[in-house]
Amino acid sequence: MKKKRILVSPLNWGLGHATRCIPIINALRAEGYEPVIGTSGRALYLLQQEFPELDFIHLPDYNISYQKKGSFALKILQSAPTIIKKINEEQGQLKELIKANKIDGVISDNRFGLYSNEVPCVFLTHQVMIKAPAGEKILYKFNQKFIQKYDECWIPDFEGPENLSGDLAHRFPTEGSYRYIGPLSRFRVREAKKEPQFQVLALISGPEPQRTLFEEIVVNQMMELGLKGAVVRGITEQQKTEERNGIRFFNYCTGSELDELLHDSEIVVSRSGYSTIMDLCVSGKKAVFCPTPGQTEQEYLAVELDKKKHAPYYAQNDFDLKSALIKSIDYTGLPKFEQQEVDWKKYFRLFEG
């Protein structure tokens, strides 16, 4: 019997959308489906390294960049006509892809234009609402116009009050086609190492130019403090490892390599992206968060985790590694959850209709 081909398409926006698709891709294969991966840029490279035997399709991203200063929300508003144009182009491209690649279903991680009447389509997001200084209800309704074009929306979080995404997936109604599938992580629960090799593991990722700015700040402070650490730079264009001043640099790590680095480190410094938070909850590591400037979702999550005394939060301009390491002693660490068994058969039934 021919395997059904499911297009899995994460947005190329940092690496989080791609990494959280890894357990879904593995589950599809385990249940007898044939995943086809459609994305671009660093997300494409990362998934090619994880799944070299699969079919890949280049799907252009939305070409939105972070500015060094100013409001990112305003940047998005100014870019709205371009984004909508890209979404419409995505729609046209999907029609051709379904025919040319014999696609039987779609799982889209935050790509708004990958819905179709020809095959079942899923939208994957933890951000049902968009955090903003004002007009959140209007943005929620705007978001819904796109999400409701899909057959189902899968939310990678717990449904009840003990959840990870807070307002992002719980403030406004999530009824009907919404499914809480539980947090997703490519890592596994492991016992803490008695004598970890690295004092600090810095996970540097996200869109430029903020990725480079964050790397410079963190690395300079690690060197000033004379820490033994590791830095994963989130750059997939060139595979490279080097060591400087007691710090080991990795341009990129596979999932298994990063899992080992996490296990071998005392504390993690990173952006407060939702996929990173899910991974760190599984790893059980303490963390210090520095959200991408102007990205309201990351800022909200970092502030909430700081309020709950799970992880200290610093704005990028105020980042102080020495202070953060001292402060983290009195924090509990992220809420640890066991990597639950997901009943993927139940969710994949959508593709059997």
Q: pLDDT (tens digit, 9 = 90+) per residue, 116-127?
A: 999 999 999 999
C-alpha span between 257 and 115 (Å, rounded): 35
pLDDT score recorded for residue 69: 59
C-alpha span between 286 and 256 (Å, rounded): 20
pLDDT tens-digit series, residues 10-61: 999 878 999 999 999 999 999 999 999 999 998 999 999 999 999 999 998 8
Residue 292 DSSP one-character state: P
The residue among 285 and 26 whose pLDDT is bigger is 26
Q: Which pTM value belongs to this model?
A: 0.90
pLDDT tens-digit series, residues 230-254: 999 988 767 778 999 999 999 988 8
Does the structure show a pLDDT above 80 at 76?
no
pLDDT score recorded for residue 31: 96
User: In 10 A of CB 165, how many CB atoms?
Assistant: 26
Identify any residues that bridge with 9 across adjacent strands, giving them in sequence order: 108
C-alpha span between 163 and 157 (Å, rounded): 6
C-alpha span between 65 and 83 (Å, rounded): 12
pLDDT, average across residues 164-179: 90
Q: E strands, the chain, where?
A: 5-10, 34-39, 55-58, 105-109, 121-124, 152-155, 178-180, 198-203, 229-232, 241-244, 247-250, 265-270, 286-289
